[in-house]
Amino acid sequence: MKLTGVDLLRVRMPLVSPFRTSFGTQAERELLVLRAVTSEGEGWGECGAMVDPLYSSEYVDGVEHVLRTFLVPALLAADDLTANKVAPLLAKFKGHRMAKAALEMAVLDAELRAHGVSFATALGSTSDSVACGVSVGIMDSIPQLLDAVGGYLDAGYLRIKLKIEPGWDVEPVRAVRERFGDDVLLQVDANTAYTLSDVPQLRRLDPFELLLIEQPLEEEDVLGHAELAKHIRTPICLDESVVSARSAADAIRLGACRIVNIKPSRVGGYLEARRVHDVCAAHGVPVWCGGMIETGLGRAANVALASLPGFTLPGDTSASDRFYRTDITEPFVLEGGRLPVPSGPGLGVTPIAERLAEVTVAKSWLTD
């Protein structure tokens, strides 16, 4: 397969309500969508990076620059391109995993569409639907949080994840447990907001029987997580710290986590995400699929990934309407707390041209 060029679309979509995490509040999602044009047909990719480098070091303008200057030219120069060759061809460029992931996704989609194979089949899916959880942002008040959680439970979500930060941790968890009971699958996500000096506070979460606490400490503090694990009962799950199958293996070996959140964009793509899954499965470590407020494109691929056998916990694979009133593909709709795994070739979904045009704020064609 030969890559002819890549259409780079900057898309801006309003969120149904502002989403607050320990690193900031988002009212809209601005992201890059890629259309790879190849000798075998086209394929779609989506980049997880946000406008600001607050979740990780990557950000939309930086991704655009590295794609344009280094990554796309390296693939344009390849004669016999396959999705499996993307990572090796780009390996000499350090980091920039989200940019690489978006490009690999587009090439993989083109390849799979040409062969009539779905993402799910290519990745090793063993299920035709996935259990869905939802990520609930930090709110201004407990009553507001309880309303939101109640709404998601009514919608059928099978697991609730509360965003936490110092000052918004034990009380919201207690309130949710008191209102909705001990049977609700409940977990929390700190997005690196704590330090080891917070052990006493984090230990106060132990009585609530949470499924896990996600990324309490800094991204690079793997040993700190191993230390923290000795002092709290809640299982630690890593997100930001796991950037590859190798780092997953290291973290598990060091005792830094008992569960892993897999986000394909964070680890450089769906093929590496599958390797993270395989490493975790080999160690008996459960995984679940994280989310980066994806459009229907990324959501389709995430749902396919989440249907692999090691994904034994519900993911942040929520329905399209969790974030968007109108998606750029046909919406993903919850059915009994689950989403169907797309079975068509490639992603199994395609952007609706008019919808995509409505939300596209800039477009450029990258070619030789």
Q: How many CA atoms lie within 13 A of 151 on its CB side?
A: 10
Beta strands 41-46 and 24-38: pairing type?
antiparallel
| Residue 115: how many other CB atoms lie within 10 Å | 13
- 92 is annotated as an active-site residue: no
Task: Return the biggest CA–CA distance within the chain.
Answer: 61
| Residue 342: how many other CB atoms lie within 10 Å | 24
Does residue 291 belong to the site contacting ligand NPG (CB under 6 A)? yes
For residue 21, the minimal CB distance to ligand NPG (Å) is 6
Among 118, 125, 135, 350, binds ligand NPG (CB under 6 A): 135
Q: Which is nearer to ligand NPG, 266 or 274 (CB)?
A: 266
Q: Which is nearer to ligand NPG, 38 or 307 (CB)?
A: 307
* CA pair distance 264, 105, nearest whole angstrom: 9
Among 9, 293, 305, 366, binds ligand NPG (CB under 6 A): 293
Does residue 316 belong to the site contacting ligand NPG (CB under 6 A)? yes
Does residue 102 belong to the site contacting ligand NPG (CB under 6 A)? no
Which amino acid is located at 46 in the chain?
Answer: E
Phi first, then psi: give them for residue 167, nearest 5 degrees: 95, -15
Window 44 to 63, contacts with ligand NPG (CB under 6 A): 50, 55
| Residue 357: how many other CB atoms lie within 10 Å | 12
Please report which helix (H) or strand (E) contains residue 84, including its range: helix 83-90
For residue 262, the minimal CB distance to ligand NPG (Å) is 11
Does residue 43 belong to the site contacting ligand NPG (CB under 6 A)? no
Window 178 to 237, contacts with ligand NPG (CB under 6 A): 189, 191
Q: Which is nearer to ligand NPG, 25 or 69 (CB)?
A: 25
Running DSSP on this structure, what letter comes out for residue 228? H
Could you say which of 92, 163, 230, 363 is catalytic? 163
For residue 189, the minimal CB distance to ligand NPG (Å) is 6
Does residue 296 belong to the site contacting ligand NPG (CB under 6 A)? no
Does residue 318 belong to the site contacting ligand NPG (CB under 6 A)? yes
Tokens of 20: 């607050």
* CA pair distance 331, 334, nearest whole angstrom: 10
Q: Which residues are catalytic?
A: 163, 263
Contact residues: ligand NPG, CB under 6 A: 21, 50, 55, 135, 189, 191, 239, 290-294, 316, 318
